[in-house]
Amino acid sequence: MKARWLDWVGDWNPQLFRELKGRLTRQSTLLVTLAALLLQFLLGSLVFERGSDPVPVFHILNWLLPMMLFVLGSVLLMTDLEQEERRGTLNFIRLSPQTSQSILLGKLLGVPILVYLGAALLVPMHIWATLAAHVSLSFLVSFYGLLGVACAFILSLALLSAFLGQFSTGQTNSLGNAAVLMTAFLVGLGFLPIYMNWNHFTVWNVWLSGLSDTGGANDLQWFFLPIGGNSAIAHSFTLLNAGLGVYWIWHILNRCFRSPAGALLSKRYSYLMTAHIELLLLGFLVQTSVSFTTASDWFGVLFGFSLVNLIWFGVLMLLLSPQRQTLLDWARYRHSMRDTDSGARRRSLLSDLIWGDKSPALVAMWLNFGLVVAILATWMFVASGEAPKFRLLMGLLLSATVLAIYAAIAQLATLAKSRQYSLQVAVAIGGLAFLPPLLLVLAGQGEVTHAKELVLFSPLLWLVLEEAAPAAIALSWLGQLGLLGLLTVRFTRNLAQLGTSETKALLTGRDTALQPKPHHAD
Amino acid sequence: MAQELAVRTRGLTKQFDRHLAVHDLDLEIAAGEVYGLIGPNGAGKTTLIRMLAAAEEPTTGEIFINGDRLLRDHSNPNLKQRLGYLPDDFPLYDDLTVWDYLDYFARLYRLQEPRRTRRLRDVLELVQLSHKRNSAIATLSRGMKQRLSLARTIIHEPILLLLDEPVSGLDPIARMQFREIIKVLREAGMTILISSHVLSDLAELCTSVGIMELGYLVESASLQELYRRLSRQQIVLATLGSLEALQAELKNHSSVEGYEVMPGTQQVRVQFSGGTEESAVLLRSLVAAGIPLTEFHCTQEDLETIFLKLGHKQAS
């Protein structure tokens, strides 16, 4: 019986078949079942202790199920992938004619199978607790629907971070374990509370408002869309965004799996993702109950945006930049094209820099920054009323330029020969970002007078922008543009030089053959 | 193309930073051949094999498998179906049984029932692991693991087999078993490329040999041709009488280019430039001279000597 069922699974997805074969052993299944039963026994005794009040158990299960799935699922997936990559077994699977989707889906469904099993064994008790707490069963439909989508999101993200971890750390075992622990921490203490609270206050408000005090979010809006007040809108909004998130992650995962040497995210998708994130955040600021009137409000909210963007663009740079060898190959390819017609060459170069997978990421990063400036500036001009528009716009431009400088440094660093360039880049950018405010704090004890221009060179520029003199702002911006120009020229030169010398190495390597052979003329 | 080529590369080059691992390599392997790739460590053998297996992207150059261009970007499933690649570290999954492991790979390569079960049985029999089909992989010996890896490599009936150092680290018996399996596969018509340090293994298995050095393919020829060109004929003699008499007699023959006495024995190894008729003349004259011969046989320099000789040529 079991064999036929497994056989069917194996025909549909060999990878899932393999994971089930390896994990669903008699002992492990028994162990998980016993653990689930023990847990239910404990929860049952809790109900009796509380004078047959099922509500605490209902709440516990609401939290416990996602916690199990998110945290344990991520940890299992990350360790499994790390192990496969360390052993080198993933390469065989890569060479098979299976699609990356099929393999990764098999991993996603199969690796945490014992966690899924444990969760499934808790479902009957969850149903009972829901009924006993006088909550409609339709809540469970919403609960498990969202849980499924959230699992797809967070477990795909765990797979992705396992891949990314290998790129940045170079498969050091202890570092790998640290990354897994860190992920468990972030998922359990970051994602889980956000997920539960968001759902509690918006999506499940209809069902749970009677049980505990959820109020306060009824008037939550997104671009005036009443998310807090309408359950259907709340569901669609949440599912749509989570679904989009899953879609983005899978786009990157597929590329990670197939050709890890190129850029992990296509430039085309980077623009869409940036727009998605900015509009998602911005939507929550555009609602009837929220308004920004004073200049400080505006400086504050844009400062918040610039911090979020700092993180997002850090990730984006990692995803968009091809590895060193790919960059060198690209440079060699451009070098070999230097004899073609210059107009056509320039056009192809531009479209390559904007859309191409192997080209440097700088131009694409600039376009992403431009996109952010355009979105935020539009909002500001529409909604700001009395606020100093010109100064705010300068702020947006300044932060975009600061980010562009960081991106240029990061891209320059990818050309360095050192394998651990990502670490060096992190240190360099961290220093650049936080040295100015550190100096500021040390020198002025909060009273910033002479260090303002320095702060204008960091993402913290919003703190001093309101009081900075227009001339200082203008000069800082010019200075930043100059620095950016220098870095870009430096990067272009370095890359062109490397392209030339790579070509030469290739050619001289052939010419000095030990036993020269005739060249083929194709 | 007059002869069907299983593998053809054109200007194949792989560059790591400034280091050229494989230089402008033109390799041709005819279908059905067993091609041995020899070369010192760092010669680029593994890189070449990885490129042929589509596990590594060439910096420049083209690869054709059975006349079809092999591209890594387009994940061309039809071409991948034809390749079997066994890397030198042959990693396995310890948590699966022998049967489940092969079943998994058979499914990855889209083998359908009832062909799948039949193929699994055949392959297990070929690698002599039928009795271990329900054992966990973790319990297998190194030689068995190696044979299981080979079984995994051929489960989808590839027409080109790429084996990177398949016998390194195996004991003599395991090595012999492995050689026997390769012979069966050769008879079944698979084209096989083997890289190895163990030259005697290659001499027994291969029909052609390529020698790599510093990323270049410095020699690529059939084994017969290589022997004909580079291997000198030798005659081993042994006498019951005095060695001096034998040596004095040898000096009279123009085909004898040199000789050495094997220390501690009554044997003499003669470098001989003549053909079979000349060697018959030599034997007759030695017998006529009354030398009590106990041994007289013609041999050739083995692959190892040829290889060392070539290496010596390149160093100078």
| Residue carrying the six token digits 């390469």 | A91
What span, in angstroms and rounded, lies between the C-alpha atoms of B66 and B159? Answer: 9
CB-based contacts of B131, cutoff 8 Å, min separation 6: none
Mean pLDDT per 10-residue interval, chain A, length 522 residues: 80 93 92 94 86 86 94 92 83 85 94 96 94 90 95 94 68 62 87 90 80 66 85 92 95 85 86 95 85 82 89 89 83 77 79 88 94 93 80 91 89 73 67 69 60 73 81 88 92 87 71 42 36
Nearest to B11 among A10, A259, A520 (CB): A520
CB atoms within 10 A of CB A438: 12
Nearest to A95 among B80, B91, B96 (CB): B80
Q: A95 to chain B: which residues are within 8 Å by CB?
A: 53-55, 80, 83, 85
The pLDDT value recorded for residue A176 is 64
Shortest Cα–Cα distance, B91 to chain A (Å): 6
Local structure of residue A387 (DSSP, 8 states): S
Q: Are strands A225-226 and A221-222 parallel, antiparallel or unpaired?
A: antiparallel
Q: What count of residues does chain B have?
A: 316
Sign of CA dihedral B288, B293, B297, B300: negative
- Any idea what the Cα angle at residue A57 is, between residues A56 and A60, rounded to 5°? 85
CB contact under 8 A, A520 and B96: no
The model's pLDDT over B184-207, given as tens digits with 9 standing for 90+, comes to 998 988 999 999 877 777 888 889
Shortest Cα–Cα distance, B173 to chain A (Å): 27
Nearest to A96 among B92, B93, B108 (CB): B108
Rounded (10°) angle between helices B223-230 and B303-315: 60
- Interface contact B108, partner A, CB < 8 A: yes
Q: Which helix (H) or strand (E) holds A158?
A: helix A138-169
Q: What is the ipTM of this complex?
A: 0.81
CB atoms within 10 A of CB B1: 8
CB-based contacts of B40, cutoff 8 Å, min separation 6: B213, B311
> Which one of A335, A497, A506, A508 makes the best mutation probe of the B interface by having the most chain B beta carbons within 10 Å?
A506
- Interface contact B151, partner A, CB < 8 A: no
What span, in angstroms and rounded, lies between the C-alpha atoms of A190 and A169? Answer: 23
CB-based contacts of A44, cutoff 8 Å, min separation 6: A125
Residue pair A338/A314 in contact by the 8 Å Cβ criterion: no
What span, in angstroms and rounded, lies between the C-alpha atoms of A262 and A270? Answer: 15
CB contact under 8 A, A18 and B100: yes
Q: A513 to chain B: which residues are within 8 Å by CB?
A: 23-24, 216
CB-based contacts of B203, cutoff 8 Å, min separation 6: B223, B302, B303
A→B contacts (Cβ < 8 Å), by residue, are 10-11, 14-15, 17-18, 21-23, 87-89, 91-99, 258-259, 261, 325, 328-329, 417, 501-502, 505-506, 509-510, 513-515, 517, 520, 522
What phi and psi, each to the nearest 5 degrees, are found at residue B34?
-110, 110
Torsion angle defined by CA atoms of residues A326, A329, A330 and A333, in that order, rounded to the nearest 10 degrees: -160
The chain A residue lying nearest B58, using CA atoms, is: A329
- Interface contact B99, partner A, CB < 8 A: no
Shortest Cα–Cα distance, A56 to chain B (Å): 40
What span, in angstroms and rounded, lies between the C-alpha atoms of B303 and B221? Answer: 13
- Interface contact B157, partner A, CB < 8 A: no
The segments of chain B whose pLDDT lies below 70 read: 1-3, 72-76, 310-316
What span, in angstroms and rounded, lies between the C-alpha atoms of A318 and A321? Answer: 6
Q: A520 to chain B: which residues are within 8 Å by CB?
A: 10-11, 26
Q: Are strands B191-195 and B34-38 parallel, antiparallel or unpaired?
A: parallel
CA distances from A9 to A5, A33, B94, B97, B113 (A): 6, 22, 22, 18, 14
Q: Looking at the DSSP assignment, which residues form a beta bridge with residue B209?
A: B36, B221
Q: What count of residues does chain A have?
A: 522
Q: A328 to chain B: which residues are within 8 Å by CB?
A: 17
Q: A11 to chain B: which residues are within 8 Å by CB?
A: 107, 112
The pLDDT value recorded for residue A276 is 96
The pLDDT value recorded for residue A39 is 93
The pLDDT value recorded for residue A215 is 57
| Residue carrying the six token digits 């004898």 | B256
CB contact under 8 A, A506 and B109: no
CB contact under 8 A, B17 and A329: no
Provide the whole-model pTM.
Answer: 0.84
CB contact under 8 A, A15 and B314: no
CB atoms within 10 A of CB A138: 12
Give the rounded distance of the alpha carbon of A249 from its chain centre: 8
What span, in angstroms and rounded, lies between the C-alpha atoms of B99 and B131? Answer: 11
Q: Looking at the DSSP assignment, which residues form a beta bridge with residue B193?
A: B35, B162
Local structure of residue B62 (DSSP, 8 states): E
Sign of CA dihedral A514, A519, B1, B7: positive
Nearest to B54 among A88, A95, A522 (CB): A95
Residue pair A410/A317 in contact by the 8 Å Cβ criterion: yes
- Interface contact B59, partner A, CB < 8 A: yes
CB contact under 8 A, A520 and B75: no
Token digits of residue B202: 């290659």
The chain A residue lying nearest B59, using CA atoms, is: A329
| Residue carrying the six token digits 């020698």 | B211
Q: A87 to chain B: which residues are within 8 Å by CB?
A: 91
Residue pair A325/B17 in contact by the 8 Å Cβ criterion: yes
- DSSP assignment of B106-161 equals HHHTTPPTTHHHHHHHHHHHHTT-GGGTTSBGGGS-HHHHHHHHHHHHHTT--SEE
Burial of A160 (0-12, 13-18, 19+ CB in 10 A): buried
Check whether the bond before B158 is cis (ω within 30° of 0): no
Residue pair B310/B218 in contact by the 8 Å Cβ criterion: yes
* No. of helices (H) and no. of strands (E), chain A: 23, 2
